[in-house]
Amino acid sequence: MPNSRVDSLPRRILATLRERHGRRIATAQNPSHHSADLVVASYNVHKCVGRDRRFDPARTAHVIRELDADIVALQEADTRFGERTGLLDLAWLERETGLTRVPLSISAQAHGFHGNTLLFRHGLVRELTPVRLPGLEPRGALVTELELKDGLELRIIAAHFGLLRHSRRQQAQRILKILEEGQDCPTLLVGDLNEWRLGKGSALRELQPAFSVAQAVPSFPAGLPLLALDRIMANRSDLIRRVEVHDSPLARVASDHLPIRAHLHFS
């Protein structure tokens, strides 16, 4: 009897190739977005180092422009060691996309908090809280409450979970605590959660009491995405209508992750 774990990898690769081919056909036939109240994206930019090992912030910025999203959560947007320094040309992004950075007063040089950066096009920042996440690695989250058009409220928790399973479970529990302590409003958890498992011990399972696990789309590795490491999850079951991966020629080389994008509809 074949080993199911070994046997599943070729099937997964074949399924990924078929899905990618189908996505390209669908995009060619209907390149425009479906109607949505808001488009939210998540992108681990890998410190602007592409799969070709080339540091190219301009290339990363062009992928962000391709996303055509109203809100973009970025991970690894700052240097990792020493005094964290932002890597993107934020002025260019604002001119080209209308996206502006949620302002932070932690560091004059950094774009975000532990590499997490949130960009938005419309609305008003009512509250912004950087949160240190538990675990062996230094990790963080940005909790941002936005007032959108027509008085709509949206809380974004932009996070980057760790590589260790035990740390990810601790970090998921901290996110749940944030939700319990805040007011009840539509909330998205957006970012690289470094988790694809759904069984016992999974951080995604820890999050299920509060967040609906929306459609998973493989986003890693960018050249042949097999694992759904990047997630956009909501505390309202009807808030996210569709999640999709942004699979463009530029995105495939600009980072080791592909960006993902969610289409939201507010009741």
Residue 262 has pLDDT above 70, yes or no: yes
pLDDT value of position 245: 97
Give pTM, 2 decimals: 0.87
pLDDT value of position 29: 38
Range with the poorest average pLDDT among 2-16, 60-74, 120-134, 247-261: 2-16
pLDDT value of position 194: 97
For residue 263, the number of C-alpha atoms closer than 13 Å in the C-beta half-sphere is: 11
b/e for 1-20, b at 16 or more Cβ within 10 A? Answer: eeeeeeeeeeeeeeeeeeeb
- Assign residue 151 a region: left if phi > 0, alpha if psi is -120 to 50, beta otherwise? left
- Please name the residues in contact with 187: beta carbons below 8 A apart, sequence gap of 6 or more: 154, 155, 156, 157, 179, 234, 235, 236
Q: Mean pLDDT throughout 1-16?
A: 51
Q: pLDDT digit string (tens) for 213-225?
A: 667 899 999 999 9
